[in-house]
Structure 1
Amino acid sequence: MKHETVETNAGLLIILTLAVISVGGLVEIVPLFYINDTIEDVEGVRPYTPLEQRGRDIYVREGCYTCHSQMIRPFRDEMLRYGHYSLAAESQFDHPFQWGSKRTGPDLARVGGKYSNEWQVQHLIDPRSVVPESIMPGYPWLIENDLKYSDIQARLRALRRVGVPYSLNDEEYQANVERFGEEAARWLDINRAEENLVAQARAGNYDGNPSRITEMDALVAYLQVLGTMVDFTQYDDGYFVQFR
């Protein structure tokens, strides 16, 4: 069949297009029925603490995702620069997730612990003071604005409705103890959300000012946890192939 024949026959073109789309769809969908899960079996991944979740809200509010992805692709150059490629398991509690391919700035999937709190604060206030070639705008108001967290329980309840395992009762709390451990379960208790948020902010002192809890505290707490939950030294190089 000549290509010209296909292009000049609208009905035939539609039929062949639908056939190609159908085959492509089946190739994508059928394998899902033959694997147990699309989430990798790893230890350590937990939902965000109340303070980290408020930091994530601020991250989204300020549009950080428009210049920074949180998805390291399984390519050698990206893994050499950023670390192990991103796992679906690491974003299973993210609503919305921050995957993507648009990067004006570096990928942030594993930025946690890479820099000190002081560096992060200075970078957010005046990016060019620490990275002269940066084109990132400054966010000085983050350290000036007190963090609003009176509605933190409502925020966590909303996330609970879409499947994030924050606990409201003793049964759910005990389930989190078994799944994430005692310490993590305490952080994920909605009934103690405000108490936990304040405790983490004061203990971490992320913005360098222990007398206040600012939006900077929350955002830095969030940035410092990114990519730190999974200990990749526990897994062989080929372990994750079975989930791909």
Structure 2
Amino acid sequence: MRHENIEKNIGLMTILTLIVISVGGLVEIVPLFYIDDTVEKVEDVRPFTPLEQRGRDIYVSEGCYLCHSQQVRPFRDEQIRYGHYSLAAESKYSHPFQWGSKRTGPDLARVGGKYSNAWHVQHLIAPRSVVPESVMPNYPHLMEDELETGQLRDRMHALKTVGVPYTEEKGDLYRKNVERWGKQVAERLHIPNAKQSLLAEAKQGNFDGDPSRLTEMDALVAYLQVLGTMVDFDEYSEPKQGRARGF
């Protein structure tokens, strides 16, 4: 009878619902203000270079994130297959981050350096030629489509507004980037150098195997090859009691 009375009284029902939601929200949110290690201090993680960021844009636009997560859970079977569990700090410059639960294909958080550039190119063009059981679609157009760079600086400006330390002038932030990651990386994170930096990195890496052209394949492979390579996970091989586990 009491439950029936609550359901029939819309005002009381609304008040009780708000109380339950508020309590649940407080239980989830308040502890975060008292946990210093929620986001690990990982100095090696840097923003994506212009080429890597364009590759990430293509990764998202092609819907790759719908079948591949970038979140290794802190479970033994996950770490045996994929490597160290994901750290929150690894995604601090990713907007939006690519964590998730959907895995039609394997997790890609640690795929960088696992395969050669040529393997990635062949896998993207014709997945079943290297993984017979794959259900992944073919992406041959990545090798055919020229990489669009006209909005490159605008994209970097947009990311800068949400906290990614790209630089527009060689002031304090630029010098800080030099101290943290070296002059070469700082130059690649300098917005006025964006297109020049992208072209130089693509030429040096020759990610699609065709040095005569700059394609979307160059950018996507560059992005895949950097995933999981920024952190020395030997420092985190034995999780300390109380350490946050990335999520």
TM-score (norm 1): 0.92
Separation in 1 of the partners of 2:241 and 2:66? 29
Cα contact 1:121–1:207 (8 A) shared by 2 = yes
Aligned to 2:82: 82
For residue 109 of structure 1, what is the aligned residue in structure 2? Answer: 109
Which residue identity is paired with 2:3?
A: V
Q: Go from structure 1 to structure 2 and tell me whether the alpha carbon gap of 1:37 and 1:170 turns closer, same or farther (over 3 Å shift).
A: farther
1:18 Cα deviation from its structure 2 partner: 4.0
Alignment of 1:173-192 (within 5 A): 173-192=174-193
Q: Distance in 2 between matches of 1:68 and 1:117?
A: 19
Q: Is the 8 A contact 1:50 1:196 kept in 2?
A: yes
Partner of 2:162: 162
Quote the Cα distance in structure 2 between the aligned partners of 1:108 and 1:236. 19
Which residue in 1 is equivalent to 2:209? 208
Report the Cα offset of residue 15 of structure 1: 5.4
Q: State the match for 1:91 in structure 2.
A: 91
Name the CA distance, whole Å, in 1 between partners of 2:54 and 2:159: 12
- Give the TM-score taking structure 2 as reference length: 0.91
User: Matches of residues 121-200 of structure 1 in structure 2 within 5 Å?
Assistant: 121-171=121-171, 172-200=173-201
Q: Which residue of 2 aligns with 1:43?
A: 43
User: What is the alpha-carbon root mean square deviation over aligned residues?
Assistant: 1.9
Distance 2:128 2:241 in 1: 38
Q: For residues 85 and 235 of structure 1, what CA distance do their matches in structure 2 show? A: 9
Quick one: percent identity of the two aligned structures? Answer: 66
Q: CA deviation at 1:5?
A: 4.1
Pairs aligned (count): 241
Q: What SS does structure 1 have at the residue aligned with 2:142?
A: helix
How far apart in 1 are the matches of 2:77 and 2:224?
Answer: 23
- Cα distance between partner residues in 1 of 2:37 and 2:191: 28
Write the distance in 1 (CA, Å) between the matches of 2:48 and 2:241: 24
* 1:6 partner letter: H
Asked whether the 8 Å contact 1:6–1:13 carries over to 2, the reply is no
Residue type matched to 1:112 in 2? Answer: G
Which of the numbers 6, 11, 14 marks the counterpart of 1:9? 6
Name the SS for the 2:24 alignment partner: helix
5+ residue gaps, structure 1: none
**Partners of 1:104 and 1:53 in 2: CA distance:** 24
Cα distance in 2, alignment partners of residues 90 and 135 from structure 1 = 28
